[in-house]
Copies of this chain bind each other. A is one copy, B any other.
Amino acid sequence: MAIDRRKLRWNGWGWIDAPDVLGDKADGVWRWMGEVVGIAPLPDTPAMGLENITLPPQRLNDAVLESLTALTAPERVKTDDFERALHARGRSYHDLLHLRAGRLETAPDAVVYPTTTEETAALVAFAADANVALIPFGGGSSVVGGVTAQAAQGQAGAVSVDMTLMDRLLDIDEEALVARAEAGVYGPQLEEALQARGYTLGHYPQSFEFSTLGGWIAPRSAGHQSNKYGKAEHWLVSAKVATPQGVWTTEDYPGSAAGPLLREMLAGSEGMLGIITEAEFKIHPVPEAKDYRGYVFTEFPAGVAAAREMMQQGVQTAMIRLSDKPETFFLNAIDTGDAQGTGPAQFCLMLIGIEGDRATVDTALERSQAIVKANGGIHMGESLGRSWYKGRFETPYLRDPMLDHGLGIDTLETATRWSNMLRLHEAGVKAIAEAIDAHSPGERGIVMAHVSHAYADGASLYFLIAFPRDLDNDVEQWWAIKRAASDAIAANGGTISHHHGVGTDHLPWIAGEKGPIGMGLLRAMKAQIDPTGVLNPGKLIE
């Protein structure tokens, strides 16, 4: 495994000894943020230390633990507090509220680290027999409850199956530009191995440093540059999956009409159909050139129109990201550390990233700039692009210090057609702002959004919200806001998730989105592959 887990925060983001992401801007930012939310000074709300927390008792009997050991190896079955706490939940705001308060009811009874597909399949077969819940675990960065280590009623216990020892790049087909790797490989390690050979997968989600190949596939993850490299469901070529029925190897053809492609059911299956142990995926030559630039529009709809035209005219961008006025203001405030007032900005920032060979980049740059200009946008040069690129994995590091200062922060994402984008943006912002007002102790929260991950027919819309925590009722407060936002998304033509997945947190909306026949199909597939329901119970379809 590339990462020493003991050096990670079990209840937060990243390395224990990571420096404060705000650096010497911190005091200014907290002062300003306190003013914005109406609480000055912000309170001091530290997390509980693991040494002060009592974990729930271990439920697995010795026979089960011995079997897990026999199927793997003694040093790869963990039952200590740190491992159980680290695998208790993912990394959503909601998860962090529980973890920081020492509520570890969902700590798994054990954590097992398989090293081969066959070993994983044997674990799954055993669990199906012994009625033990298995929770596939990669980097554990789910923000929708996808790795919460819960067992269903009547099950003997819950075991996290940590895949991160399966981390090898296995093969590169240089003619087909398809690579094969074990599913537990972390982003940086995978890219390092690929780039040493001159290739890239190009999948850089915000969680890149602490998420894995299998963890990207399971919830249909998207990297920042998905316009070029695709979401997980686009770059996935085939997979091996450990299921109660044995090892499932999906189709691996470039195109096929041999019935529905079942591999399409894997991306988004969130562990309910099996544990992904290996995957083949499309790769690209390491881009010869990268060009990231900023542009501004005085109005959000003009930026949306420009993004739409670029996608529909086939301009080969890697990323288009359009912030609304509040987000433009907020990101600038964090960046400078000396913000005044509450915004919003007078304009909307658009970042356009282009990657590829020199000729493709030049063509796309010229065409994108013509479209920006035609829609009234103004070119701001490369510094904004460079600055975003440099800090593109930093935002998650902001969450722990916000939680330490009595603040809440969450993200919600959806996708819709271009023709519905402005309506959904407006409805989402309104619903979230009203819910924060109704459920927060401070004067107001911050609600901002950006359009990204664009397609010819529509794009993702991503809300980022910050608000003063109701310290005595923080989980209820979050649920009230989340519910209002999700109801507004569902009622206004958005999908409940574009790239985070369903997990536990989006369960209340999935049936409405899929409809009874769609849910019937999902349940039928689940019952066929996992009739006793040991695979990641309580996620996706309950």
- Asked if A453 and B255 sit within 8 Å, CB to CB, the answer is yes
Contacts of A219 in B (CB 8 A): 257
Give Cα A222–Cα B513 distance, bound, in whole angstroms: 29
Q: Within 8 Å CB of A357, what residues of B?
A: 313
**Shortest distance in angstroms between A245's beta carbon and chain B's nearest beta carbon?**
5
A524 touches B525 (CB 8 A): yes
CB-based contact B268/A260 at 8 Å: yes
In the complex, the answer to whether A266 meets B258 with C-beta atoms within 8 Å is no
Q: A177-B457, A417-B178, A527-B524 are in contact. Are A517 and B259 (CB under 8 A)?
A: no
Q: What is the distance, in angstroms, from A451's C-beta to the closest C-beta of chain B?
A: 12
Cα(A496)–Cα(B514), bound, Å: 31
Q: Is A264 an interface residue (CB 8 A)?
A: yes
Contacts A521-B265, A529-B521 given; does A514 touch B175 at CB 8 Å: no
Given A219-B257, A264-B264, A457-B237 in contact, is the A250-B314 Cβ separation under 8 Å?
no
- Interface pair A460/B255, CB less than 8 Å apart: yes
Q: Which of A233, A253, A255, A496 has the most CB of B within 10 A?
A: A255
Contact call A254/B521, Cβ cutoff below 8 A = no
CB pair B249 A506 closer than 8 Å: no
**Using an 8 Å CB-CB cutoff, how does the interface string of A162-193 with B read, 1 for contact, 0 for none?**
00000000000111111000000000000000
Segment 285-344 of A: residues with Cβ below 8 Å from B:
308, 312-314, 316
Contacts of A173 in B (CB 8 A): 417, 419
- A264 neighbours in B (Cβ, 8 Å): 260-261, 264-265
Binds B, one of A6-14, A206-214, A383-391, A497-505: A497-505
Distance A516 CA – B258 CA, assembled complex (angstroms): 15
Docked-complex contact B258 and A513, CB < 8 angstroms = yes
CB-CB < 8 A to A520: which residues of B?
A: 245, 528-529
CB of B497 within 8 A of CB of A256, answer yes
Identify which of B233, B254, B308 contacts A416 (C-beta below 8 A): B254
Give the chain B neighbours of A177 by CB distance below 8 A. 312, 456-457
Q: Is A106 an interface residue (CB 8 A)?
A: no
> Given known contacts A176-B458, A262-B521, is B499 in contact with A257 (CB within 8 Å)?
yes
Given the contacts A260-B267, A268-B260, A312-B177, A516 and B253 also touching, CB distance less than 8 Å: no
- Whether a CB of chain B sits under 8 angstroms from the CB of A435 is no
Any chain B CB within 8 A of the CB of A87? no
Contact status B248-A419, CB under 8 Å: no
- Chain B nearest CB from A420 CB (Å) reads 8
User: Does the CB pair A501–B418 fall under 8 Å?
Assistant: no
Q: Does A246 reach chain B (CB closer than 8 Å)?
A: yes
Indicate if A395 sits at the interface (CB-CB under 8 A). no
Q: Check A522 for interface membership: any CB of B closer than 8 A.
A: yes
Min C-beta distance of A474 to chain B, whole Å:
26
B-chain residues with CB within 8 Å of residue A202 when the two chains form the complex: none
Indicate if the CB atoms of A458 and B253 lie closer than 8 Å. Answer: yes
> Which of chain B's residues have a CB closer than 8 A to the CB of A363?
363
A487 → chain B closest CB, angstroms: 15
A278 to chain B, nearest CB (A): 15
At the interface, yes or no: A270 with Cβ under 8 Å from chain B?
Answer: yes
Check if B517 sits within 8 Å of A246, measured CB to CB.
yes
A517 pairs with B529, CB closer than 8 A? yes
- State the CA gap A253–B420 with chains docked (Å): 11
A179 to chain B, nearest CB (A): 11
Q: Contact check, B517 vs A260: say whether CB atoms are below 8 A apart.
A: no
A459 contacts chain B at the CB level, 8 A cutoff: yes
**Known: A175-B308, A175-B418, A282-B457. Contact between A517 and B255, CB under 8 A?**
no
Does A515 reach chain B (CB closer than 8 Å)? yes
Interface residue? A495 (CB, 8 A): yes
Given contacts A254-B416, A254-B459, A416-B254, contact A525 B514 (CB under 8 A): no
Q: Does A536 contact B (CB under 8 A)?
A: no
Q: Is the CB of A498 within 8 A of B249?
A: no
14 contacts between A and B (CB under 8 A): A174-B419, A175-B308, A175-B417, A176-B458, A221-B257, A245-B516, A253-B416, A257-B498, A258-B513, A259-B270, A259-B502, A260-B269, A282-B456, A524-B525
List chain B residues, Cβ under 8 A from A256: 220, 415, 495, 497-498
A500 to B258, CA, bound (A): 8
Do B517 and A257 have beta carbons less than 8 Å apart? no
A455 on the B face (CB < 8 A): yes
Our pick among B248, B253, B460, B499 for the contact of A515 (Cβ within 8 Å) is B248
